Amino acid sequence: QRLRAAVHYTVGCLCQEVAEDKNMRFSKQTIAAISEITFRQCGTGPRVIIFFILCRHAKRSTVTTEDVKLLARRSISLLKYITQKSEELTSSNMEQKEKKKKATAAKGRRTSVEQEAAVTESEDSNMA
C-alpha cells in the first residue's frame, strides 16, 4: 500500500511539472489513472525477469524474437509492432547478405582478371 502511495505521489509531482511546463491541468482522476497504470506495469517487471531466467533454464543463452513475442502476446498492439519490426530487420539483413555476396563475387572476378593480366605481363617479359 505504501508503494502504491509513493507511485501516486511521484506521478502527481510529474503531472504537476508537465502541467506547469505546458500550461495545462490534470484532473485528480487522470493522475489516479496514470498512477494505477504505472503501478500495474511495474508488476510485469518480475514476470520479465522470470521469463529470461526460464530462457536460461532451457539452456539457451540467446533470447530470440519469438521469446519476446511470447512475452508481448497479451498486448496485441505491442505484438503487432514487434512482429513488424522483426520482419523489417529480417528483410534488411537479407538485403545486406545479398549485397555482400554480390560484392564478394565481383571482387573474385576482379582478382581473376588481375591474375590473368599479371600472367600476360609475366609471359611478355619472359619473351623479351
Q: Which tens digit of pLDDT belongs to each residue from 36-64?
A: 888 777 766 666 666 666 666 566 666 67
Which domain covers residue 106, as residue numbers? 45-112
* Same domain flag for 51 and 25: no
* Same domain flag for 72 and 100: yes
* Same domain flag for 18 and 63: no
| Reported confidence tier of residue 29, pLDDT bands at 50, 70, 90 | very high
105 within some domain: yes
Q: Is the pTM of this model over 0.85?
A: no
3-state DSSP assignment of residue 1:
coil
What is each CA distance from 33 to 30, 37, 42, 59, 127, in whole angstroms? 5, 6, 14, 40, 91
Q: How many helices (H) and strands (E) does the chain have?
A: 5, 0
* Same domain flag for 34 and 49: no
* Same domain flag for 98 and 80: yes
- Is 15 within 8 Å of 31 (Cβ atoms)? yes
* Same domain flag for 13 and 40: yes
* Same domain flag for 107 and 53: yes
Q: What is the mean pLDDT of residues 25-42?
A: 86
pLDDT for 90 = 87
Closest CA to 15 of 1, 2, 28: 28
* Same domain flag for 51 and 96: yes
CATH number of 96's domain? 1.10.20.10
- Retrieve residue 44's grid coordinates: 510485469
- Is 84 within 8 Å of 74 (Cβ atoms)? no
pLDDT for 13 = 92
* Same domain flag for 55 and 107: yes
How many structural domains is the chain composed of? 2
